[in-house]
Every structure is written in C-alpha cells, then in structure tokens.
C-alpha cells in the first residue's frame, strides 16, 4: 500500500491511534483508577472512619433481616472485600430483579455513610462509558481491538528498537515527546496486550455471538453454563418454613474449609421462608482465576450441599485472563506496579494524539481536520482529569444528606469535563495547558485541605485511627496535583520548535517557490 510492510504499519498505527485515542484515554485513565476503586470507595465515604470494626456481623445481619425482610424471596449479606470491608444487607421480594431490591447498611454508629457514586463509578465508566443500554460495551470493545492493533503496529514503527529505548532528549519538547512515546510504548507492550485481549474476552456474548446463537437455543448463556462447572440451584418447594435463626454451626463449617480471616465476601440466602431454603457463601478471592468459589449449605439441616468444582481448561484460560484484567489477585506492591503501568499507558495514548498534531504543526499543515484534533486534544485529554477532580470535590462539598446526591455527583463529573470543551475553544493550546494544569492542581490540592480544616476533619480522624487506606488516597491526590504542577512548569520552559528553526524553514520554502 505504502511501499512496504513497515510503512503500511506506520500508517495504520497513525490513523487507528488517531481515531480512537481520546476514547482509549478515557477508558485507560478510569480503568487505572479502578485498580484502587475499593480505596477510593473508602475515601468517598469518610463517615465510615468513625465506625469500629464489627464483631459478629453475620449473626447480626441475619437478625436484622429477620425483622426487616419478611416474606422476601432472597436475602443477601455483602461483606465487601479485604481492602474495603462492608456490612450491608439486601433483600428481594418475590418478583423483584437482582438490581431493584432493597438495601441497608448495618452501621454501628448513628451516622449513615453519604450517598455517593463511589469508587465503582470508575469501574463501570471504564467499560460502559455510562451508556450501558446504548451500546457502551460495544464501543469499548472496538476500542480494545484498536488498541491491540496500535500495540502490534507500534512495534514496527521502531527502526532501531534498542536505540530508541535508551534515548531520551529532554531539551526540545517535540523530541522529548517522541522519545517518551517510544519508551513508554516499549515498556507497556505486555501490559497493554494482556489488558486489551482480556477486555475483549469479557463479552464473547456481545462481540462474537453468531456461533453460540447458531448452536444453542439460548445462545451464549447456554454455552457458558455448559463449559463452566455446574452451579447449584434448587426451586422453592412451596412448604412454608421459618428462616434460619442460629447460623453459627454453618459458619464454623465454612471456617474449617476456608481458614483465612475475612474469607467470606458475600452470602446469599435463597428462599428464606421455604423448606428448600439454602445459603451460598462466596469466598474473598486471592488467586488469578476469576471464578467465584462458593459453598452451599441447606438452611434447615445445615449440611453441605455443594462445593465449586475446578473448571476445564478452556474456561480456565478465560477465567485467568479475566482475573488478570481485574487484578484482584494483586498484593499491594503488584497493585501499585499495575497502577503505574496503567498510568503510563494513558500517557502513551495522550502523547500519541499530541504527536500527530505536532507533526502537522511543524510542517505548517492547517485545515479543518487539524483544528478539530487540536480541539479534541485539549478538550478530551485535558477535560477528563478536571472532570474527575470535580467529581471528588462534589463528593466533599455537597451536603451529606441531600436528595439526589448520586445524580449531582455524576453531573459534576460531566459538567467539569463539559466546561473544558468550551474552554478549549477559547484558549490556544499553549495557554490552555497552562490554565488546565493549574486548575487541576488547585482542584486536587483543595481536597486534602477540605479534609483537614472542613467540618468533618476526616484526615485528622484517619491519622488518629491510623487508617492507611484513607491517608494513601490523600497522598495519591497530592502527588497527582504536584505532578500537574511539574508538568506545567516543564511546558512553560520548553518550546515546541525553536524559533530559529521555523525561520529557517520559512526561508527554505520561499527559496523553493
């Protein structure tokens, strides 16, 4: 097409990257934050700092459910994960779906935690883009495929792979960006490859449904149940019975099987008011595979009914890829490395989009396309961090017991981002980035300040309690703000191209004419 293989790969790298870079940037940034979604969740509900660790949560939850959830078809107890322990009960009345049941937190203090989008917002946004019903997951699937293409073709853009890797020219902004793009690109090849491939493996049912639909009446769902190990389910018998009162013998059995502390993450009690009622315990996972490990007990007799079996190899491969994507297996150190790799990948995508434009500017190419991309770079790359900062700020500034807090937080996220779309029209690139980074730093630095001197004084409480999770998130916020300031200072000192060079180019052009 363009002469040889390498050239066509460079062409493909340029344009596939350009088309979806902003979408990929949004997905990667929020996805990177999702590694710490549990920690951000703790940060976004600071009322929990005052709650003491509870003993005997499960018996208390069962007692509360006995009072509040009479006649329900299912009781659930959410105990959260190792990093974000919870005590929450949920129940569904007959006929209610999984998503529209009732829930209540079992707080030990009077203050209920504030309503918030929580850290899970980042998780959901990064694969649905808040467009779950409108094909958001298709869009992110296409983005993942494009990123794979970008990673593969990116390898061929290097003429001298090793020389590029050890080369970093800080002095000139354009060269610095080219070298940074190359180095980060090489470092993150394995990370991006695994992340993008596993991302597509989440939704076989959406992306390649044809084969499953052809072979099975119920499509992918039936295929999935055939390749996964058999789960347990039992219908209600119709004979009335009282729900379980004393859960301790069953808990002892669970403890003998899963010896680690906080081993249970979730309990489901099916048909509590029926003779056929049974309890399903879900384990807090700490290995690569994403398969949920369960123990099922009969509610009336307390005997073990079912235990999760290991899957066969094909499904295991898929489970391991999904587990790698979610990173729930990662210990603190590895989680931090994954976070840094995610952040580097976001930087890779951002520098890629900016490089395309800079190449055009340098050659004095200017048309509606470059103007549009100039605007998108400013608005979409610069707007997302501002949006996130606005979301965090709204979490702190909005009154705690306001109605519709959830929607207001969402609006502040999109509002902050939307404001940047307008600002990007008003300012030229150089000015815009100066203002944008300063604004970002100010917004982020105000967060720990509010926690320090605001009405809650959560930071002080966290330091007194020695809550490392909360303090860690604050340190992360301050570090990001400082990084924004450093970048701002760097950008103000460096020029895109030296002035003498552009004069030389102009002279050359005149001579050529």
Partner 1 sequence: MLIYFAAGRSPKADYRLDVMTFSLPVFIRTLMAIFGGYGVGICASFGMIPVSLWLFTNNTHDAIFIGLMFSYLFAFMAFIWCFCCKNTVHCIRDIGLASVTLMGLYYLFPVEVMS
Q: How far is the CB of 502 from partner 1 (least distance, A)?
A: 16
Residue 322 near partner 1 by CB under 8 A: no
Q: How far is the CB of 503 from partner 1 (least distance, A)?
A: 21
Residues 119-148 that bind partner 1 (CB under 8 A): 145, 148
Q: How far is the CB of 246 from partner 1 (least distance, A)?
A: 42
Q: How far is the CB of 64 from partner 1 (least distance, A)?
A: 42
Three-state SS sequence of 34-101: HCCHHHHHHHHCHHHHHCCCCCCHHHHHHHHHHHHCCCCCEEEEEEECCCCEEEEEEEECCCCCCCCC
Q: Residues 62-101 vs partner 1: string with x where CB under 8 A?
A: ----------------------------------------
Question: Of residues 106, 107, 139, 197, which one binds partner 1 by CB under 8 A?
Answer: 197
Residue 222 near partner 1 by CB under 8 A: yes
- Secondary structure element (H or E) that encloses residue 290, with its range: none
Rg of the chain over Cα atoms, rounded to whole angstroms, equals: 27
User: Per CB under 8 A, which region of 86-94, 149-157, 413-421, 459-467 contacts partner 1?
Assistant: 149-157
Question: Of residues 208, 337, 460, 475, which one binds partner 1 by CB under 8 A?
Answer: 208
- CA distance linking residue 386 with residue 439, whole number of Å: 8
Helix, strand and coil content of the chain, in percent to the nearest 5, comes to 60, 10, 30
Q: How far is the CB of 15 from partner 1 (least distance, A)?
A: 9
Strands 102-105 and 264-270, sheet pairing? unpaired
**Total number of residues that touch partner 1 (CB under 8 A):** 44
Cβ atoms of 408 and 394 closer than 8 Å? yes
Q: How far is the CB of 291 from partner 1 (least distance, A)?
A: 14
Cβ atoms of 411 and 360 closer than 8 Å? no
Residue 162 has φ and ψ, to the nearest 5°, of -75, -35
Q: Residues 341-380 vs partner 1: string with x where CB under 8 A?
A: ------------------xx--x-x-x-x-----------
Q: List C-alpha distances in Å: 383 to 25, 185, 423, 431, 435.
A: 11, 23, 9, 15, 12
Q: What angle do CA 468, 473, 475 make, to 5 degrees?
A: 90
User: Per CB under 8 A, which region of 26-34, 43-51, 115-123, 202-210 contacts partner 1?
Assistant: 202-210
By beta-carbon proximity to partner 1, the closer residue of 149 and 398 is: 149
Q: How far is the CB of 353 from partner 1 (least distance, A)?
A: 15
All residues at 6 or more sequence positions from 160 whose CB lies less than 8 Å from its CB, including other chains: none
Positions in the binding site for partner 1 (CB under 8 A) = 1-3, 5, 7-12, 14, 145, 148-149, 152-153, 197, 200-201, 204, 208, 210-212, 214-217, 222-223, 226-227, 312-315, 317-318, 359-360, 363, 365, 367, 369
């Amino acid at each position: 097409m363009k002469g040889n293989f390498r050239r066509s790969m460079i062409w493909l790298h340029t344009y596939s990257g350009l088309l979806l870079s902003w979408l990929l940037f949004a997905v990667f940034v929020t996805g990177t934050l999702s590694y710490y979604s549990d920690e951000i969740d703790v940060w976004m509900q600071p009322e929990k700092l005052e709650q003491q660790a509870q003993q005997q949560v499960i018996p208390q939850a069962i007692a509360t459910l006995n009072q509040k959830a009479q006649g329900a078809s299912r009781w659930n107890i959410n105990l959260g994960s190792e990093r974000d322990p919870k005590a929450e009960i949920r129940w569904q009345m007959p006929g209610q779906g999984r998503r529209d049941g009732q829930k209540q937190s079992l707080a030990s203090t009077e203050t209920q935690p504030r309503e918030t989008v929580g850290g899970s917002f980042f998780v959901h946004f990064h694969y649905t883009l808040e467009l779950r019903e409108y094909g958001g997951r298709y869009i992110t699937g296409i983005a993942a495929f494009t990123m794979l293409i970008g990673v593969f073709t990116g390898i061929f853009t290097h003429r001298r792979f090793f020389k590029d890797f050890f080369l970093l020219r800080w002095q000139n902004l354009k060269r610095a960006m080219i070298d940074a793009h190359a180095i980060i690109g090489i470092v993150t090849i394995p990370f991006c490859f695994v992340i993008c491939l596993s991302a597509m493996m989440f939704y076989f049912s959406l992306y390649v449904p044809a084969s499953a639909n052809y072979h099975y009446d119920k499509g992918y769902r039936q295929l999935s149940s055939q390749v996964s190990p058999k789960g347990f389910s039992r219908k209600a018998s119709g004979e009335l019975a009282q729900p379980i009162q004393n859960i301790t013998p069953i808990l002892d059995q669970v403890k003998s099987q899963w010896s680690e502390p906080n081993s249970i993450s979730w309990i489901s009690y099916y048909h509590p008011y029926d003779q056929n009622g049974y309890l399903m315990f879900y384990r807090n996972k700490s290995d690569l595979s994403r398969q949920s490990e369960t123990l099922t007990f009969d509610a009336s007799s307390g005997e073990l009914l079912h235990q999760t079996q290991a899957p066969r190899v094909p499904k295991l491969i898929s489970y391991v890829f999904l587990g790698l994507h979610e990173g729930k297996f990662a210990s603190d150190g590895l989680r931090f490395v994954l976070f840094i790799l995610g952040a580097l990948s976001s930087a890779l995508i951002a520098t890629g989009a900016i490089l395309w434009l800079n190449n055009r500017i340098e050659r004095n190419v200017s048309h509606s396309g470059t103007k549009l991309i100039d605007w998108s770079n400013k608005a979409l790359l610069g707007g997302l961090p501002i949006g996130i900062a606005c979301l965090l700020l709204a979490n702190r500034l909005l009154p705690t017991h306001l109605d519709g807090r959830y929607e207001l937080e969402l609006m502040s996220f999109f509002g902050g981002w939307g404001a940047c779309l307008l600002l990007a029209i008003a300012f030229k690139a150089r000015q815009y980035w100066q203002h944008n980074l300063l604004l970002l730093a100010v917004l982020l630095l105000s967060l720990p300040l509010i926690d320090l001197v605001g009405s809650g004084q959560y930071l002080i409480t966290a330091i007194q309690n020695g809550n490392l999770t909360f303090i860690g998130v604050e340190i992360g916020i301050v570090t990001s703000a400082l990084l924004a300031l450093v970048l701002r200072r760097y950008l103000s000192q460096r020029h895109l191209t030296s002035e003498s060079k552009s004069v030389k180019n102009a002279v050359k052009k005149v001579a050529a004419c």
